[in-house]
Structure 1
Amino acid sequence: MKTLHNIFFLLLAFIVVSCGGSTENNGTYPAKVKISGTLDGQKEGTQIILYTIQGVGGKKNVAEATTNAKGAFTLEYTVPKIGLYTLNIGNQAEELLVLETKDLKVENNGEFFKVTGSKENDQLNELKDMYDSFTEKGNELQQEYATSENQAAVLEKFKKLQDEQKGAVKAMLKKLDGAYVTLVALNFIQDKEGSFDVISETIQKLETNFPQDSLVMEVAKSYNALKSTMVGAEAMPITLPSPQGETIALESFRGKYVMIDFWASWCRPCRMENPNVLKAYTKYKDKGFEVYGVSIDRDAEAWKGAIAQDHISWTQVLDADGEVAKQYGVEGIPFTLLLDQEGKIIAKNLRGDALEKKLEELLGK
């Protein structure tokens, strides 16, 4: 599969190690399973490593095997419960797979590897093929855009492709009907807010099928955070310390339009955006606009230094342990939310002139 590493790192955006109940997916756990295969083109001694996915960006080696002179191998592992794993094959591929109670087979066609032996992995292969197809089409359009004399027409093709992919993912989610591999399919949704109804329905099925699974609970939690920051939702309470050590509550600015601005001193895009925020704040602070800057810096001195360097004059608080950012589902910074006078979210991630234009609409020139 061409998407091995793409899918793997996509999942690491929010995946944590699963642990939970002992009888899920009609299997009995712990379960002893074998992963085996005879691989073409692999020399004797090629190392096969099974990893569990651990936290953001992490994984743990749980079992190993090596190929014999014919390229054959058998890897044995006791599965504590159904979960997502990766199989590293001689550092040539990192295959994502689902482990449950069934033995699995690995086969290859040159550099492309495939894991089979269970319905979950058959569904995962179907997902990979779908992802490959749309990725290939997207790459072709990128090349066409670079050489086209009618780039607007190519952009229309991009939009059509995105709509097609959105429809295909929704159809796939319905087909999977809450299978464990649905966790992978959710990552293929680009417009999460626009697809929230189908996401909510899918998560409900996952929670019903795997009620004690910590990965399912973690994913559900991340989407609940997304729901809480959608336009129309009321912003969650925040109370954090200022550079002077006094606690400042977001709610204290009710009656004003407030932009919550998640940032950090080490975030270059954040720092580049600060002059735009300063311009808007200077123009509208006397007309009922406030900025509530939430830094996720761990180094308070670096945070204070950036405040001085960027001439930040609006309210600043520090979320050093990242708990507030986690509650708000912040996956990347800068991340901003514009609130109305009652504390409801009316816009997200306004950048550059977009913020000033929105404030002009709300507060006049």
Structure 2
Amino acid sequence: MKTVKHIFILLLTIFAVSCGVSEEGDGSYPAKVKISGKLNDLPDGTKVVLYTIQRVGGKKNVAETTTDASGKFTLKYTVPKIGLYTLNIGNQAEELLVLEGKDLTVANAKVGYKISGSKENEQLTELKQMYDKYSEKGNVLQQEYASSENKEEVLKKFQALQTEQKVAVEEMLGKLNGAYVSLVALNFIQDKDGSFDAISKSIEKLEQNFPQDSLVMEVAKAYNAKKATVVGAEAIDISLPSPEGKTVTLSSLRGKYVMIDFWASWCRPCRMENPNVLRAYNHYKSKGFEVYGVSIDRDTEAWKQAIEQDHITWSQVHDAGGVVAAEYGVEGIPFTLLLDKEGKIIAKNLRGDDLDKKLAELLGK
């Protein structure tokens, strides 16, 4: 089933079994709940399995039952705290659901199954439908792109669809008003920088509604790190050792345009970009441009060897434990931030010609 397959893959990347207090229930946990239904076209003895979604190991079987000859089943489970689960039916369909202190009903739907019995799951159904809607529109455009002679025109349609989806998800986040399923909706946002205001408001609501929930705290921590790199924010100061063991601070470069460059010797895209950075650095350093390279190498010698091999002459420091990278919300490298003379972020991830164009705009050719 397309909806659940794609949503489930998204969730496995960050979701864990977690705790909180539901707005709907009385907050009394553990809570005994029943999930029941009468499903069509299933053979007697079809297995129905409830899984928790976990960060490590994917998912875990926590309860199971089987259908009778008429397709009826009842599954009982004691919910420790509100959380995200999946219900696997006959190994053919897997539905995402929210479990809290409420009994749920499963019924046949046009596609897959519908789970009802709580506001959270009604909202989740709406999210799934929205996800399917934009997935199918995207699939149609992919087919059109493959056969089109005017691919630029189709790319414009893709961009328009992305904008439409962005607006729809932001509106949905506002409507959810901090419901637990907001965690699912947040995964639908591709341009997190572009939707940061909507994301921040949603996370603030989640933290108010579920202050002790480990997943909410984890997601909030990740987005707070991203907040540190939003264009317009003042860059967090960095103080790390150079190859010679001397401490070099980012703030020591104030008064210049500075590019923070997170990289590593083992990162092929980083190494491929280094010649472009070197060219820009050599051209603009006399005009007030500096690069502050932050290596996340664990192997100090490999880092030093890469510096020599790539003819790097700009400031280099070593973030061996990845502490600074975590503070900056770095999820992948290369990752760069361009700062103005006051240390404020003015651009992100400029590479190749884009970096040259921006520097020419700021410092002249």
- Report the TM-score range of the alignment, normalised by the length of the smaller protein: 0.7 to 0.9
Aligned residue in 2 for 1:163 = 163
Q: For residues 43 and 245 of structure 1, what CA distance do their matches in structure 2 show?
A: 69
Q: For residues 292 and 195 of structure 1, what CA distance do their matches in structure 2 show?
A: 28
Unaligned ranges ≥5, structure 2: none
Q: For residues 231 and 243 of structure 1, what CA distance do their matches in structure 2 show?
A: 30
Bigger shift: 148-157 or 118-127?
A: 148-157
Percentage of matched positions with identical amino acids: 71
Query: Is 1:30 aligned to 2:35, yes or no?
Result: no
Shift in alpha-carbon separation, 1:42–1:249, aligned structure 2, 3 A: farther
Shift in alpha-carbon separation, 1:98–1:261, aligned structure 2, 3 A: same
Q: For residues 307 and 3 of structure 1, what CA distance do their matches in structure 2 show?
A: 46
Aligned residue in 1 for 2:187 = 187
Contact kept in structure 2, 1:295 and 1:320, CA below 8 Å: yes
Q: CA RMSD in A?
A: 2.7
Unaligned ranges ≥5, structure 1: none
Deviation of the 1:235 alpha carbon: 0.1
SS at structure 1 position matched to 2:170 = helix
Aligned residue in 2 for 1:277 = 277
Shift in alpha-carbon separation, 1:40–1:242, aligned structure 2, 3 A: farther
Bigger shift: 94-103 or 348-357?
A: 94-103
Give the aligned residue type for 1:209.
Answer: N
Give the aligned residue type for 2:125.
Answer: N
Aligned residue in 2 for 1:11 = 11
Give the aligned residue type for 1:227.
Answer: K
SS at structure 1 position matched to 2:291 = strand
Query: Is 1:65 aligned to 2:67, yes or no?
Result: no
Contact kept in structure 1, 2:259 and 2:291, CA below 8 Å: yes
Contact kept in structure 2, 1:39 and 1:72, CA below 8 Å: yes
SS at structure 1 position matched to 2:159 = helix
Deviation of the 1:181 alpha carbon: 0.7
Aligned residue in 2 for 1:141 = 141
Aligned residue in 1 for 2:265 = 265
Bigger shift: 310-319 or 326-335?
A: 310-319
Deviation of the 1:107 alpha carbon: 4.2
Contact kept in structure 1, 2:47 and 2:67, CA below 8 Å: no
Contact kept in structure 2, 1:63 and 1:75, CA below 8 Å: no
Bigger shift: 329-338 or 12-21?
A: 12-21
Q: For residues 41 and 301 of structure 2, what CA distance do their matches in structure 1 show?
A: 55
Q: For residues 278 and 106 of structure 1, what CA distance do their matches in structure 2 show?
A: 60
Aligned residue in 2 for 1:83 = 83
Shift in alpha-carbon separation, 1:264–1:32, aligned structure 2, 3 A: farther
Aligned residue in 1 for 2:251 = 251
SS at structure 1 position matched to 2:63 = strand
Deviation of the 1:182 alpha carbon: 1.3
SS at structure 2 position matched to 1:225 = helix
Deviation of the 1:344 alpha carbon: 0.8
Bigger shift: 79-88 or 120-129?
A: 79-88
SS at structure 1 position matched to 2:342 = coil
Instruction: Write the mapping of 1:324-343 to structure 2, written as runs, cut at 5 A.
Output: 324-343=324-343
Deviation of the 1:60 alpha carbon: 4.7
Cα deviations across residues 55-105 of structure 1 (Å, max 9, x unaligned)?
3x5445251324356465543322121112233445544432211011223
Aligned residue in 2 for 1:50 = 50
SS at structure 1 position matched to 2:350 = coil
The number of equivalent residue pairs is 363
Give the aligned residue type for 2:326.
Answer: K
Instruction: Write the mapping of 1:196-345 to structure 2, written as runs, cut at 5 A.
Output: 196-345=196-345
Aligned residue in 1 for 2:125 = 125
Q: For residues 307 and 73 of structure 1, what CA distance do their matches in structure 2 show?
A: 64
Shift in alpha-carbon separation, 1:248–1:46, aligned structure 2, 3 A: farther
SS at structure 2 position matched to 1:3 = helix
Deviation of the 1:280 alpha carbon: 1.3
Shift in alpha-carbon separation, 1:111–1:208, aligned structure 2, 3 A: closer
Deviation of the 1:111 alpha carbon: 7.9
Give me the TM-score of the superposition, normalised by structure 1: 0.88
Q: For residues 73 and 242 of structure 1, what CA distance do their matches in structure 2 show?
A: 64
Contact kept in structure 2, 1:40 and 1:109, CA below 8 Å: no
Deviation of the 1:43 alpha carbon: 5.7
Q: For residues 87 and 293 of structure 1, what CA distance do their matches in structure 2 show?
A: 47
Deviation of the 1:12 alpha carbon: 4.0
SS at structure 2 position matched to 1:311 = coil
Contact kept in structure 1, 2:63 and 2:77, CA below 8 Å: no
Bigger shift: 140-149 or 122-131?
A: 140-149
Contact kept in structure 2, 1:81 and 1:100, CA below 8 Å: yes
Deviation of the 1:137 alpha carbon: 0.4
Q: For residues 88 and 241 of structure 1, what CA distance do their matches in structure 2 show?
A: 51
Deviation of the 1:262 alpha carbon: 1.6
Deviation of the 1:131 alpha carbon: 0.7
Contact kept in structure 1, 2:25 and 2:100, CA below 8 Å: no
Deviation of the 1:124 alpha carbon: 0.6
Deviation of the 1:347 alpha carbon: 0.7
Aligned residue in 1 for 2:349 = 349
Give the aligned residue type for 2:166.
Answer: K
Deviation of the 1:254 alpha carbon: 1.5
Deviation of the 1:116 alpha carbon: 2.8
Shift in alpha-carbon separation, 1:111–1:149, aligned structure 2, 3 A: same
